[in-house]
Amino acid sequence: MSTENRKLINIATAGSVDDGKSTLIGRLLYDTRSLTTDKLEAIERNSKQKGYDYLDFSLATDGLVAEREQGITIDVAHIYFNTDKTNYIIADTPGHVEYTRNMVTGASTSQVAIILIDARKGVIEQTYRHFFINNLLRVGHVIVAINKMDLVEFDQQVFEDIKKDFEALIEKSDYSSDQVTFIPVSALHGDNIASGSETMSWYQGPSLLEYLEDLEIDELDDHGTARFSVQYVIRPKTDTHHDFRGFAGKLYGGSLSVGDDVTVLPSFTQSKIKSIEFFDQQFDEAVAGSSVTITLEDEVNVSRGDMLVKSNELPKSEKQLSATICQVNSKPLRVGAKYILQHGVNQVLAKVDSIDGLVHTDFTGEEAADQLKLNDIGKVNFRLSKPIHFDPYKDSKSNGSFILIDEASFDTTSVGFIQ
């Protein structure tokens, strides 16, 4: 299989501290022979130095001195491995409540979430929170890995009880039951990680890796309508390409073909696609995820931040916005505050009109709030300096999300999911 067609799966792990996230990742790397000898030796050496009688795989993922000092994960680490069929990127996200924002960061680019549960502890508050965030971000597939089965004598009843508790959570969420898969595992011993388990013969389902390998590309895609976000206008002005005017950007959702009637937003000018180009080649059609260059039939005005859409598939265009916000900065979001709102590559000014409420991440509802503090999730209404052209987040992740940038510090303070 050629590299171009090898599928890519982005995974985010979630779980409480000591649920075994690092061990699980380490085990996946180890069993797929992705952990090189020198890295493994370093893990062995450091584990021994710390006086452990097991391999501490967190040493492979906790890359910062401060993390190794405290024995906790502070920031997202990205771990990579390839099998013959698939490229994998795992975002190893922190388990601590105070690093929820980093969990949101990791989950934002993921198609699959692995939520770890300690078989001895069952569903706990952190499980609620992590599942809630995956639900909010609409991560397509959730794997509930019930770990440390070795410590409960591989007891099927323990697995079934936890599964039942979790199913009650699924009922409260937007997930359908076929989007959530339960796998009993022992990350430490490798049961049901890369291959099946002899000791848990009562479990008939796939191992974690088998499940991932079997996911089809169209199950992983972010479906939706074609949204072409213009990043850069290409005007070579060379002898061979003197009149060339191409719009370079990324196509999100759907597909675009030569000859399609398109509308340029925000100007609402109409034109037709003349060519779709990538490097020195021309194509009839491009599909979602393509970073191509498009030329139009007419000499219309198109700039960075504009969007090309099919003329019969227009998004909403509004100056008022309601969104679920996750606050990722220590400076709270308050009513009346002004921000730079970045939607794709387009930036407008936004003012917080009102905060409808603070959302409880344990599915128990909302409470009134006049501000959102770090790691809070709330419903917020904005007024914008210019309309943006969006879809609800449930219909398009890329065109239904935005970030807020603080005007003074330039920090990214919040992420929003448009309702």
Partner 1 sequence: MKNIFVPNPKEAESIQIIREVAAQFERPVLLFSGGKDSITLVRLAQKAFYPARIPFPLLHVDTGHNFPETIEFRDQLVEELGLELIVAKVQDSIDQGKVQEEKGRYSSRNSLQTTTLLDAIETHKFDACIGGARRDEEKARAKERVFSVRDDFGQWDEKNQRPELFDMLNGKIHQGQNVRAFPISNWTELDVWEYIKTENIAIPSIYFAHKREIFERDGMIWTASEHVYREENEEVKEKMVRFRTVGDMTCTAAVLSEAETLEEVVEEIRASTISERGARIDDKRSEAAMENRKKVGYF
d(CA 309, CA 314): 7
Q: How far is the CB of 183 from partner 1 (least distance, A)?
A: 26
Site string for partner 1, 233-262 (x = CB under 8 A): -xxx-x-xx--x-x-xxx----x-x-----
**Residue closer to partner 1 (CB basis): 5 or 157:** 5
Site for partner 1 in 8-37 (CB under 8 A): 8, 33, 36-37
Binding residue (CB under 8 A) for partner 1 from 17, 44, 80, 202:
80
Site for partner 1 in 92-131 (CB under 8 A): 101-102, 104-105, 108-109
Q: What length is written for the chain?
A: 419
Q: Is 300 in the site for partner 1 (CB under 8 A)?
A: no
Residue 112 · residue 35 · CB < 8 Å:
no
Q: How far is the CB of 120 from partner 1 (least distance, A)?
A: 30
d(CA 138, CA 406): 26
Half-sphere exposure of residue 149, counting CA atoms within 13 Å on the CB side?
A: 32
> Going by DSSP bridges, is the β-strand pair 77-82/86-92 parallel, antiparallel, or unpaired?
antiparallel
Q: How far is the CB of 140 from partner 1 (least distance, A)?
A: 15
Q: Is 79 in the site for partner 1 (CB under 8 A)?
A: yes
Residue 258 · residue 244 · CB < 8 Å:
no
Q: Is 74 in the site for partner 1 (CB under 8 A)?
A: yes
Binding residue (CB under 8 A) for partner 1 from 32, 63, 316, 392:
63
Q: Count residues contacting partner 1 (CB under 8 A)?
A: 84
Q: List strand residue ranges (DSSP E) for 47-140, in order.
A: 77-82, 86-92, 112-118
- Output the CA angle 29-217-180, nearest 5 degrees: 70
Q: How far is the CB of 174 from partner 1 (least distance, A)?
A: 19
Q: Is 70 in the site for partner 1 (CB under 8 A)?
A: no
d(CA 200, CA 192): 9
Q: How far is the CB of 249 from partner 1 (least distance, A)?
A: 8
**Nearest Cα residue to 190 out of 331, 307, 318, 28:** 28
**Residue closer to partner 1 (CB basis): 17 or 66:** 66
